[in-house]
A and B are shown apart, each in its own frame.
Chain A
Amino acid sequence: MASVGQPPSLKRRDAPVSREGDQLIITPLGAGNEVGRSCVYMSYKGKTILFDCGIHPAYSGMAALPYFDEIDPSAIDVLLITHFHLDHAASLPYFLEKTTFKGRVFMTHATKAIYKLLLTDYVKVSKVSVEDMLFDEQDINRSMDKIEVLDFHQTVEVNGIKFWCYTAGHVLGAAMFMVDIAGVRVLYTGDYSREEDRHLRAAELPQFSPDICIIESTYGVQLHQPRNIREKRFTDVIHSTISQGGRVLIPAFALGRAQELLLILDEYWSNHPEFHNIPIYYASPLAKKCMAVYQTYILSMNERIRNQFANSNPFKFKHISPLNSIDDFSDVGPSVVMASPGGLQSGLSRQLFDIWCSDKKNACVIPGYVVEGTLAKTIISEPKEVTLMNGLTAPLNMQVHYISFSAHADYAQTSTFLKELMPPNIILVHGESHEMGRLKTKLMTELADCNTKIITPKNCQSVEMYFNSEKMAKTIGRLAEKTPEVGETVSGILVKKGFTYQIMAPDDLHIFSQLSTANITQRITVPYSGAFGVIKYRLEQIYESVESSTDEESGVPTLRVHDRVTLKQDSEKHISMHWTSDPISDMVSDSVVALVLNINREVPKVVVESEAIKSEEESGKKAEKVIHALLVSLFGDVKLGGNGKVVINVDGNVAHLDKQSGDVESENEGLKERVKTAFMRIQRAVKPIPLSAP
């Protein structure tokens, strides 16, 4: 069912119609066998969705973007952003403003509020040349108008794509998206954590099992230590370093986990009065700005924090002071500094690292996942020397501790989550390839008896699946008064809205849908000064049914042709015709008009025409002649045989055609079929059209 392969191109959208409509394609444009620039493309039944739109923190400029050139941005219906982290949301302004994308973008309220602050900060901080800038502040502001918000659990429908989101843990406002297209459900977890911490709820377990689960695999098969142990290690390291007169550097993402660590530190300081003279700095003006957001969207946080709000604001720290830049920082004696960025690529955390790294009294606590290719990742393996920002090398003497507080699921959480959800297909993204591989193997053994497929596509590698979608329709209204037996026919209007089908009688259309039907009555006046009887006479020659009567109101004579078109003698000079529009009536009316105009022109010839009545026999003969002539023109050698049969000779092959029944006898099958079809068509052309309609 599922296969991995390189499709020719994802841009081809309109070509597949029926069969291929059931093909579901998932392609990671980023975060496939890597961490960073999350972006997953999905398409099913002509609907396309993009999950997340991040950048790779280890690269800059265009290289940091997901592989957008693999897709046609204008074809995307919906773009869903799980949370505000740069690797999930930072290429959004670029995608919205610099590509042909014209779909709709959704994220949660808290994500949107922080997104703006975070990206504005990102633009300011990132020191790249103007050409390399992916977007500027203007782009961010413009993108804000296009982003729509949704609340957790709120179901939104766009073009027949239904989606809603669940709490994901991880950071404030983080969501897992469930998408439902024509009954096929796909869950995209984004980054999630099943562990409740100081301020966030744990990720929810969706009440429906999805058909496909696209899940992060950041921590692979690793297991987290219990939270209290991690917290203890963290505070112990800080405690001992401070006691020895050292400085502690905590490089962290400005938002998200930082808030959690600050809550821990503030609480620890409150419980240890002896530290009250040791400053804790939080070097992020951005985080300060975001506090209002943290204070407003408490509905997205857990009960614990909501109860604390009742007394005082837990995010109003008593022992932590903000630090705007390194110039304001007087480096005297022990201190604890939390600074961004978390990867030590540049900025304040790097500046402090360069100053402190060669003193062995100092410590650096790396509190979360670090991306491959960043300095933070390098120093975890404790090299002897590091390269400073100014290009020089320095010995790395400071202690490096890696205590993960990052709210990503570990193996235990992932496997329980998957076991409870039991999705038949699992796609792993957002993980280094070896971690991902190990996770895959381990999950395979654990879920061996469940027939689960686990796929780990690389970037731009498409996963194709087929879903046998049964299209069900509901027959309603008058049409459904009786349930039909097998073999009977059902005729009606098939109405498709989104992915639901209904069949109904035309009269019910306005009841069950917003559509309405119309009748167009046409009334046309034709100048005619002859006798009304002449028209009747002429019409009878052409049409089988011509009824004459008199109009009830005005008493003028009327004619009704085939129960469709009514002619009325309005005055000496005019007749009027009226009928209800439909193709056949229009045709009948046209012929009547032509006839009336003809009479006008040919008044003197009336008598002449009257001679031309042909008996049925004569007209039959005439038809025969025509048929013969047409057959000759088609086959050439056509002779009349006995018993009303025609003998056709084509290149030595002989066919006998029975003109009465249309049967053909011939030894050559090809000729036989051709003659048969030809005769049938001629027959249809020559014989009058049946006018009987319901």
Chain B
Amino acid sequence: MGTSVQVTPLSGVFNENPLSYLVSIDGFNFLIDCGWNDHFDPSLLQPLSKVASTIDAVLLSHPDTLHLGALPYAMKQLGLSAPVFSTEPVYRLGLLTMYDQYLSRRQVSEFDLFTLDDIDSAFQSVTRLTYSQNYHLSGEGIVVAPHVAGHLLGGTVWKITKDGEDVIYAVDYNRRKEKHLNGTVLESFVRPAVLITDAYNALHNQPPRQQREMFQDAISKTLRAGGNVLLPVDSAGRVLELLLILEDYWAEHSLNYPIYFLTYVSSSTIDYVKSFLEWMGDSITKSFETSRDNAFLLKHVTLLINKSELDNAPDGPKLVLASMASLEAGFSHDIFVEWASDVKNLVLFTERGQFGTLARMLQADPPPKAVKVTMSRRVPLVGEELIAYEEEQTRLKKEEALKASLVKEEESKASLGPDNNLSGDPMVIDANNANASADVVEPHGGRYRDILIDGFVPPSTSVAPMFPFYENNSEWDDFGEVINPDDYIIKDEDMDQAAMHIGGDDGKLDEGSASLILDAKPSKVVSNELTVQVKCLLIFIDYEGRADGRSIKTILSHVAPLKLVLVHGSAEATEHLKQHCLKHVCPHVYTPQIEETIDVTSDLCAYKVQLSEKLMSNVLFKKLGDYEIAWVDAEVGKTENGMLSLLPISTPAPPHKSVLVGDLKMADLKPFLSSKGIQVEFAGGALRCGEYVTIRKVGPAGQKGGGSGTQQIVIEGPLCEDYYKIRAYLYSQFYLL
């Protein structure tokens, strides 16, 4: 019997909520994706919190909030402690996305769901894999392998294999090859036991290719008219594609309007992306191999990590790509509020906003005339507030110190600290720490010091061990010198010379974020609500990079899984795709509700036999594409070690119904016949050969998964020589077994 497979959605079914699914294979629990939305609503994670502790491994598919946003929170608060697997770009860009999210949130609220340290420690346990690397989970007989998904850099279709049965998780894939990414390889998988996929785009059909001109026209028109263009984008995902498109367009038309890419992590993002060429599309790798020309050496784009830099930029029309596509917070939010009331400006959406966000509201048709927004700012405390704050801090410190000493006593009683167990390989932790601290930069180091002086003890659930050397590493040693103005000067030169600077984050980020929020200065958030008149132009042009409804259907019918699970997508889209698949793909389509466990164990019968030498020497294979086929009649025997084996049959083989194997395409048959000198034409769905003979395909076409998979072909004609000739040609298209 097949491997037992259960799927339990934890979030993101029948709606566009973040993705998170529990897939249990023979009792081994995978959490596939661990998403959150831009609202960071903890109630969404309710189902996850119930099962977090039972999870054995986490697989991440894309580096955006919807696919991995909840990881730090789940690791810290929900007791998730499993190893995480992802590709290198998903790890790196995911980390940067989370930093950006945190910094954006922190700017406008007392954000306390997780901290930068939580992000670091959550990402510490990530094992990075390369595409089509078969990773054997020790002891389970399970192999996981990431494959190219398209959509985002590093985006993954996960293949989980046990005992030769494949479970494939493919959401947000893209079939089309783009500037920086290859299309998905999902179509190369055939007949997996289970396919889990999304219905997000099932009802959307991509507009024809003129969208590119529309995109460029809209931008250049606004800029020429003296307006500004805002593109709300994600931190490190689709924005890469947009950057390349803009770069090309600017170069092609030698435009000189400034382009700004504004996120808290923009410079590190581009630095890392420059070193991810292996993960990108063929055209990019090729151009690097031949001319060492890195596509992400951006010539027209200025990277900003701080809004004041944008404010200081020279006046005049400009294009800004700012993070937080949902406009809920962050740079894009602030810029929108500033620019919305000017009719000359353009806000260009390239993806559908998350449900219930400002972006989604603005994408409505017709767009709202005015929207209410909350403007928040973080301001340093002054005067009485500061004094009050300091007093409170001293009090807290004392309390904490007391608590800490108590905890320490307890810990010293237990001879083995839990930290040691958790860290496993000290080398690994060390390396990651060094890495992480390089990433997260100075301000963070400063904060650490405070915390440690406070006698802060990490909660037992925290994965990050806080060894003293950690602090030293980041604070006093090499990195202490990072904030050396000279370094920055060199860096700027690097940029100018278009040399590549790769690796960690550079000083700009440090400076920027330091000045922003994370310095130890006490501060508070001041908010005020205001109504913004939306007078600017709003345009939505789809650059999501997801397969559209039509190609989803094509891919699904090609992959033709034995069982299909549909998740993520509006109720309508899910239902639509379900009906389509039931008719054309396979008879087993499941659409589970949240927390509903469905059993997709394959009802496949199978047993293994050994093929004896004697039998094989009598078998003559016929080659058919990748396959070789033969008819066997064999007698069952047993080998010494009790295996069933097949031996040549001793009595004459019983006659069997003959089988014609082959896939006849009428379109291929036509040129074949005409090459043989027969007049052929299509008439009324049939192929007319010569004067009298017709060949037709009848019966349900398309469905491969179930029902009758046999093609029905009818050849008709009067008794004549042509009839037999054409029949012989028709037969030659098949193998007879």
Contact = CB atoms under 8 A, between A and B. Distances in A.
Nearest to B619: A494
A472 to B, nearest CB: 6
B608 A473 contact: yes
Contact of B289 (A144, A154, A303): A144
A164 B734 CA distance: 36
Contacts of B378: none
Interface string B706-737: 10011111111111000100010011001011
Interface string A19-35: 10000000000000000
B555 to A, nearest CB: 14
**Listed residue (B491, B646, B730) with the most chain A CB atoms within 10 angstroms of its CB:** B646
A520 B608 CA distance: 33
B contact residues, range:
35 or more
Nearest to B696: A521
A511 interface: yes
Given A517-B710, A523-B714, A527-B719, A473 B503 contact: no
Contacts of A312: 487, 490-491
A154 B88 CA distance: 13
A677 B295 CA distance: 79
Interface string B602-635: 0011111111010011010100111111111111
B649 A489 contact: yes
A306 B710 contact: no
B727 A516 contact: no
Contacts of B709: 507, 509-511, 516-517
Contact of A292 (B292, B624, B719, B723): B292
Nearest to A581: B660
Contacts of A277: none
Interface string A519-551: 111111111000000000000000000000000
A476 B631 contact: no
Nearest to B482: A311
B251 interface: no
Nearest to A141: B290
A583 B633 CA distance: 19
B368 interface: no
B342 to A, nearest CB: 41
Contacts of A438: none
A488 interface: yes
Interface stretch (A59-67, A294-302, A419-427, A459-467): A294-302
Given A311-B504, A484-B644, A509 B661 contact: yes
Contact of A511 (B502, B659, B705): B705
B492 interface: no
A485 B719 contact: no
Interface string B281-299: 0000100111010100000
Contacts of A507: 709-710
Given A477-B605, A527-B719, A693 B657 contact: yes
A475 interface: yes
B289 A116 contact: yes
Nearest to A303: B431
Contacts of A149: 278, 285
A13 interface: no
A678 to B, nearest CB: 19
Interface stretch (A229-237, A261-269, A496-504): A496-504
Interface string B694-707: 00000000001110
A263 to B, nearest CB: 15
Interface in A451-480: 470-478, 480
Contact of B634 (A116, A490, A516): A490
Interface string B668-706: 000000000000000000000000000000000000111
**Listed residue (B164, B616, B625, B658) with the most chain A CB atoms within 10 angstroms of its CB:** B658
Given A151-B130, A518-B711, A520-B730, 11 more contacts: A113-B288, A141-B290, A310-B438, A471-B611, A474-B164, A486-B636, A491-B653, A494-B632, A514-B625, A525-B719, A527-B718
Interface of A: 18-19, 109, 112-113, 116, 141, 144, 149, 151-156, 164, 207, 289, 292-293, 295-299, 303, 306-313, 316, 470-478, 480-481, 483-498, 501, 503, 506-507, 509-527, 581-583, 593, 693-694
30 contacts: A109-B285, A154-B130, A292-B500, A295-B501, A296-B288, A299-B276, A306-B503, A307-B503, A308-B503, A309-B501, A311-B478, A472-B609, A474-B164, A474-B606, A477-B604, A486-B638, A487-B635, A490-B634, A492-B632, A493-B630, A494-B629, A511-B705, A514-B190, A515-B624, A517-B660, A521-B712, A521-B715, A524-B723, A526-B718, A583-B736
